């Protein structure tokens, strides 16, 4: 988490609503925002779980 903290402090992270290519549904996506010349670039990291994330995912086995 320490590597992401500077980006959070400078506002270089975003959580826009994107469209999931596989399901064609809206998803909230967490990612980094950067620049490529005059253009903005968005690099997605993960999406927010719909509903209860404890019911949506099974943790890895130890």
* Beta bridge mates, 1: none
| Residue 37 CB partners (closer than 8 Å, separation 6+) | none
60 within some domain: no
Q: Strand 17-19 vs strand 13-14: parallel, antiparallel, or unpaired?
A: unpaired
Domain that holds residue 42: 5-48
53 within some domain: no
**pTM above threshold 0.75:** no
**Tokens 């990291």 — which residue?**
45
- Condensed to tens digits (0 to 9), the pLDDT of residues 24-35 reads 999 999 998 988
Q: Rg of the chain's alpha carbons, rounded to an integer? A: 14
33 within some domain: yes
- Condensed to tens digits (0 to 9), the pLDDT of residues 2-59 reads 555 555 566 688 888 999 999 999 999 999 898 899 999 999 988 888 888 888 888 8
For residue 28, the model assigns a pLDDT of 92
27 within some domain: yes
For residue 49, what are its two tokens? 């779980």
34 within some domain: yes
Number of domains, the chain: 1
């Amino acid at each position: 988490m320490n590597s992401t903290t500077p980006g959070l402090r400078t506002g270089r992270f975003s959580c826009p609503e994107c469209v999931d290519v596989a399901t064609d549904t809206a998803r909230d996506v967490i990612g980094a925002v950067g620049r490529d010349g005059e253009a903005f670039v968005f690099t997605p990291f993960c999406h927010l779980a719909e509903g209860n994330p404890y019911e949506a995912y099974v943790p890895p086995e130890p």
